[in-house]
Amino acid sequence: MIWTVIGDMLPAALAAALSIGSIIGVVVILTGTGGIGRAVVFAAGNALAIGLVLGAGVALSSGASEPQSTADTGVKWLSLVVGALMLWLAVHNLRAQFRPDAKAQEPKWLAKLDSITLAGAAALGGTLGVLNAKNLPLIITQAGAIGQAGLGSVQAAIVCASFGLVATLGVAIPVFTTVVRGAERARPLLDAWRSWLTRNNHALLGVLFLIMGARAFGTGLGSLLHS
C-alpha cells in the first residue's frame, strides 16, 4: 500500500520541485560568498517545511479513509475546488507569458540574499517551499489523498518525508552541481539556469498548473459522481 501511495504522489512532488522562486533563490545564494553552507540550510528548510505542512494536512484528513464520511466528502470537494483554482492559474500564467508587453522580472528580495544568515536561509527556504501559489494547492490535495489511503502513522510519516525530499530536488540540484564542479566553474551554468527560469517562469507554471489542475479536478469530480 505505502509504495502505491508514494508512486501516486511522485508527479505532484516533482511538480512542487520546479519552484522557480526557490530555485532562483538558491542560485543567488550559491553565487555569493560562502554560499554553499547557506544553500544547504536553505534546501533543508525547504524539505522540512514541505514535509511538516503535508504531515499536518494528513493528520487533519485522517478520517477520510472511511467512505462516505464527512472527511472523505470534504477531501473530494477540496480536490475539485483546488483543481479548478489551478486551472485558472494555468490560464493566468500562460496569458502572462505570451503577452506582447511581457517582461521577465526577478523579485526585488533577491538583492538581499547576499547577506542572509543561516537562520534566514532556513526560514526563507521553508517559506518559499510552502507559501507559493503552486506548492500549497499541491500539498493540500496530496494531504487529502494520503489521508484517504488509510495508512498508519509511521507509513504516513514516511510518505510525507519522501514527498518533502523529492519536492526539494529543484533546489538540491544546483547545490549538488556547485559542490561537484566548484563555485567558480559552476557560476556560468547557474547564471544560465537563472536567466532561463526567469524568462520562462510563467510558461513553466502555466503548464504545471494545467497538468496538476486537470488531474486534481478530474479526481475530485469523478469521486463525487461515483459516491
CA distance 161 to 157: 6
Check residue 63 and give its pLDDT.
62
Closest CA to 42 of 168, 163, 201, 195: 168
- Buried b vs exposed e over 127-158: b needs ≥16 C-beta within 10 Å? ebbbebebbebbbbbbbbbbbbbebeeebbee
> Which residue ranges make up each domain of the chain?
2-219
Find out whether 56 and 39 touch, Cβ atoms under 8 Å.
Answer: no
| Helices 135-148 and 2-17, axial angle in degrees (round to 10) | 180
Length of the chain (residues): 227
CA distance 199 to 172: 21
CA distance 40 to 29: 10
CA distance 55 to 143: 7
Tens place of pLDDT per residue across the chain (227 aa): 788 999 999 999 999 999 988 999 999 999 877 789 999 999 999 999 999 999 999 888 776 556 666 667 777 888 889 999 999 999 999 998 888 776 767 777 787 787 889 999 999 999 999 988 889 999 988 998 888 888 888 999 999 999 999 999 999 999 999 999 988 899 999 999 988 988 888 899 899 999 998 988 998 888 888 86
Q: Any idea which residue has 530555485 for its cell?
A: 23
Closest CA to 208 of 171, 163, 167, 180: 167
